[in-house]
Amino acid sequence: MLPLDSQRPNPDDLLAQVQAQEKKAARGRLRIYFGASAGVGKTYAMLAAAHKLQAEGLRPLVGIVETHGRSDTAAMLASLEVLPLKQVDYRGRSLPEFDLDAALARRPELVLVDELAHSNAPGSRHPKRWQDVEELLEAGIDVFTTVNVQHLESLNDVVGGITGIRVAETLPDKVFDQADEVVLVDVPADELLARLRLGKVYRAAQAEQAAQNFFRKGNLIALRELALRRTADRIQDDVQAYRVEKSISPLWKTGAVLLACVGPRAGAEHVVRSAARLAGQLNAEWHAVYVETPSLQRLAAPRRERILQVLKLAQDLGATTAVVTGDDIAASLTAYASGQNISKLIMGRAGTNYFWRQPHRLRIAQLAPEADLIEVGASPFQPGEAVRGNAGPDMPRSEGEVLPGEHRLSRYHRYVLAAMASMVLGVFVMPLERYLDLTNIAMLYLLAVLLVAFKLGRGPATLASVIGVACFDFLFVPPKFSFSVSDLQYLVTFGAMLAVGLLTGHLAAGLRFQARVSAHRETRARALYEYARELTGVLQTEQIFEITQRFLQRSFRARVTLMLPDAAGRLQVAPDAGVDAGIAQWSFDHAERAGFGTDTLPSSPVFYLPLIAPMRTRGVLALEPQDRRWLLIPEQRRQLDTFAALAAIALERVHYIEVAQGALVQIESERLRNSLLAALSHDLRTPLTSLVGLAESLAMSKPALAPEQLDLARSLQEETLRMSALVANLLDMARIESGAVKLNLQWQSLEEVAGSALRASRGLLAQHQVATRLPAGLPLVQYDAMLIERVLCNLLENAAKYTPAGSTITIAAALPGEEYSHITVSVSDNGPGLPPGQETAIFEKFTRGERESAKPGVGLGLAICRAIVHAHGGSIRAVRSEEGGASIEFTLPLRTPPAMPEETEL
């Protein structure tokens, strides 16, 4: 059994549990019906549960249920109250969606919301249905819903790799993990395939296609395993939460979680690797824990660094690692295992690992008799290594190291002071001998030993105890001033004094050491807190430089240099920085430590630490400490790593602030430019229209103009028309980007719009050959005829402008494959082709195919085409044509046209 103190619940934890329960009581409950794929019966099971609750007096409300044409599922809706769906207009279509506001207004006790991962139509309050459900739960309404395993975000790529199909609709795992109940609806793969063939999953046409793609037996078996494992993980979390809530200490062997017990000897690496292999064989989670006692805290820094490397190895192999402090190794281990509900402990063979000698093994078996103890044999490549309780004379002690500004007495002075304390006490007590009994004098000597242990340590306390007994015998025990004893009872007194002195000295020294450890840890924690607090408000890189240098110089007594890369990834090193630019660049490029105390160029006096942020490495931190031993302390290295992580995150945050500010400036500039273009275009349109009319009137004036004057009038007319077209492009671009253009979608044929575009562009195409490849039987397409005609006119104008006279320009349309969802329209030529690398850039505003050219235009034609096509839900791209020239292709989505009304027979 564990000690009584370890079984007593923490008051803070109890208060947190009460607050969490109060918050949970005001929130609705979420039940998820979870399955491996469509067709396993999740919706049917959800409706069956609703029927059962209705029979018990509850009135559930069906918010939305997708039957997918399944008659059995549709029949279950017959006796349930169904909430009318809300119609959302999107691109000329009316899409039915769950009416969240109506459900909140009704405030039922239970709402059924199918397909939790569904994406709502644009214009809805929330983009995802699980967000609608979250609002229902916050309102205190219970919800039943359904989820397939492929819709979980963490498993989306795994399912995609198995099935070859990437599901677009996902929901965060936290929604699944925070659900109050998860009901697994499971069907074997063969039974599900039989239901698919019978049409109970999809209609006949869809079922045949699904059987050839997603619904293959191998896929279904793998998805079923994923669903079962994910449900098991969720139930394991529920078990752990219940044990914590009920303060249950005994282990429950409900899972195959392993605990690798890491010790300070060389065999620890073998224990970790063996535990990783066993966890892989069992497909189980595993932990690696090192228990640090006060005696082990005095290990030399290299030995403690090796322990940290073993824990890092365990973490790299997939373990959850922890360092637990305590006086009792076995009790600390069993407490950790009980808290994590781990029933299998892995340790090294007795005699080869310091931690797991026979007494520790027996005590673990005594404290946790239900735990399984797995012994790992010794590795032949890692012989045992003796571990001493004290650090070597040439190595620093981590927790006992002197803090900056702290002064420590040398060992010699401490022992001299301890000896003098006992002798000086005798000199002061001798005049008081007539007033004090020998018992009280002995107590004074014990008090002196206790004070020496508290101030000077364990060794001086031992010396003070021995000298104190000798002084007491020599100065106060008859016969005085000799070490002979007249009464043998005094021998018992001497023995008791010596034993009590040694014991109290040992305990006081231990408490003193633990107090030093706590003080050092508090100092490091306070430094990190203050550093993080100051970094939260910085907005410039220079501020990070100043704060980082100040804190690191104060904490590590080191010369600190912070180096950042330029746009090309080269570190910017000041000439007077006193660092090696080559080593710093290597550390940045490889994201690894270098210099002093590492395996890379350890002879360097400077320690180089890369600043690794979540997105990329942001720079390198270089430290040159005054005392080189200072960086060998594992705790200091961990603190330095934390400083570096905070600095990297701050640098990344400042970088993205600058990116956001630049994007904001660009957006505002673009908005200003669009507003200016719209205003200028609108103001120029009226006088240009007048100029066009005057130019036409001048060319047609009576009497007729002279030939030279007529040429001038026609040139004036052509230039005025060109300028009017440019202004129209500018105005249209501004209107499209401002969202002022409303699509007039109608069902029309592509032949009509292609013909009208060719007629409108016949003047530009007079010196070119035009071909059309529009196959018969093209379906009707829903589009805005005026805008698509504008797209074709711009593409034809662009092709005519950049190809020589006599070239062939082709308009073509095609349907890709049998199962098509869009139609592709292209305008291609056999001219010189596109400039290399400009396939995407030509669609940007004010971008021309030839930068220095006499050809008219401002580079807006293709940008307008892209905006119009995207507004229709299509895409546009530039490729090389089959004839060797350029080809601009755009797609338009295909939808099902409305059915024509049947004629009534007379």
Burial class (CB in 10 A: 0-12, 13-18, 19+), 136: buried
**Burial class of residue 348, CB neighbours in 10 A (0-12, 13-18, 19+):** buried
Amino acid identity for residue 631 in this structure? L
Flag whether pLDDT at 644 surpasses 50. yes
State yes or no: pLDDT of 385 exceeds 80. no
- For residue range 821-857, list pLDDT tens digits in order: 788 999 999 888 887 777 787 887 666 555 444 455 5
Look at 619-623, 712-716, 756-760 and tell me which has the smallest mean pLDDT: 712-716
User: What are the E-state strand segments in 65-214?
Assistant: 81-82, 86-90, 93-97, 110-113, 142-148, 181-184
* CA–CA dist 31, 103 (Å, integer): 17
Over range 584-598, report the average pLDDT: 86
Rounded mean pLDDT of 407-432? 74
| pLDDT at position 390 | 34
The predicted model scores a pTM of 0.44
**Band of residue 511 on the pLDDT scale cut at 50, 70, 90:** confident
State the average pLDDT for the chain.
77
The contacts found for 131-136 with CB under 8 angstroms, 24 or more apart, are: 132/98, 132/100, 133/30, 134/175, 135/100, 135/104, 136/28, 136/100, 136/103, 136/104, 136/111
What pLDDT, on the 0 to 100 scale, is given for residue 355?
A: 43
Are 871 and 839 contacting, i.e. CB atoms less than 8 angstroms apart?
no
284, amino acid identity: A
pLDDT digits (tens, 9 = 90+) for 235-286: 655 555 555 555 555 555 545 688 888 887 777 888 888 888 888 777 778 8
> pLDDT tens, 878-901?
888 887 788 999 999 887 777 555
CA distances 508 to 16, 450, 461, 729, Å, are 36, 7, 9, 88
Q: What is the mean pLDDT of residues 25-54?
A: 87
Closest CA to 124 of 159, 96, 153: 96
387: confidence class by pLDDT, cuts 50, 70, 90: very low
CA distance 374 to 342: 13
- Both tokens assigned to 154: 């963490």
Number of neighbouring beta carbons within 10 Å of residue 540: 11
pLDDT of residue 736 exceeding 70, the answer is no
3-state SS record for 87-126: EEEECCEEEEECCHHHHHHHCCCEEEECCCCCECCCCCCC
pLDDT band at 859 (very low <50, low <70, confident <90, very high): low
Does residue 617 have a pLDDT over 50? yes
Residues 6+ apart with CB under 8 A from 426: 471, 472, 475, 476
Contact 205, 153 (CB under 8 A): no
Q: Note the pLDDT tens digit of each residue in 699-708.
A: 777 777 778 8
Which of 14-18, 184-188, 506-510 ranks highest by mean pLDDT?
Answer: 184-188
Model confidence at 293, pLDDT cuts 50, 70, 90, reads confident
pLDDT exceeds 60 at position 677: yes
pLDDT at 543 over 80: yes
Residue 110 has pLDDT above 90, yes or no: yes
Low-confidence winner among 593-607, 729-743, 771-785 (lowest mean pLDDT):
729-743
- Residue 333's SS3 state is helix
Better pLDDT: 212 or 764: 764
When pLDDT is cut at 50, 70 and 90, the band that residue 737 belongs to is low
Residue with tokens 């969802």: 821
Q: What is the pLDDT of residue 144?
A: 94
Check pLDDT > 60 for residue 86. Answer: yes
pLDDT of 638 > 90? The answer is: no
- Give the amino acid at 782: Q
Q: Which residue has the higher pLDDT, 642 or 838?
A: 642
* Cβ within 8 Å of residue 256, ≥6 positions away: 282, 283, 284, 344
Q: What is the pLDDT of residue 397?
A: 40
Name the DSSP letter for residue 398. T
- pLDDT at residue 394 above 70? no
- SS3 (DSSP) at 148: strand
Q: SS3 of 892, please?
A: strand
Of 851 and 544, the one with more pLDDT: 544
Q: What number of CA atoms fall less than 13 Å from residue 593's CA on the CB side? A: 15
Query: Which of 473 and 842 is assigned the larger pLDDT?
Result: 842
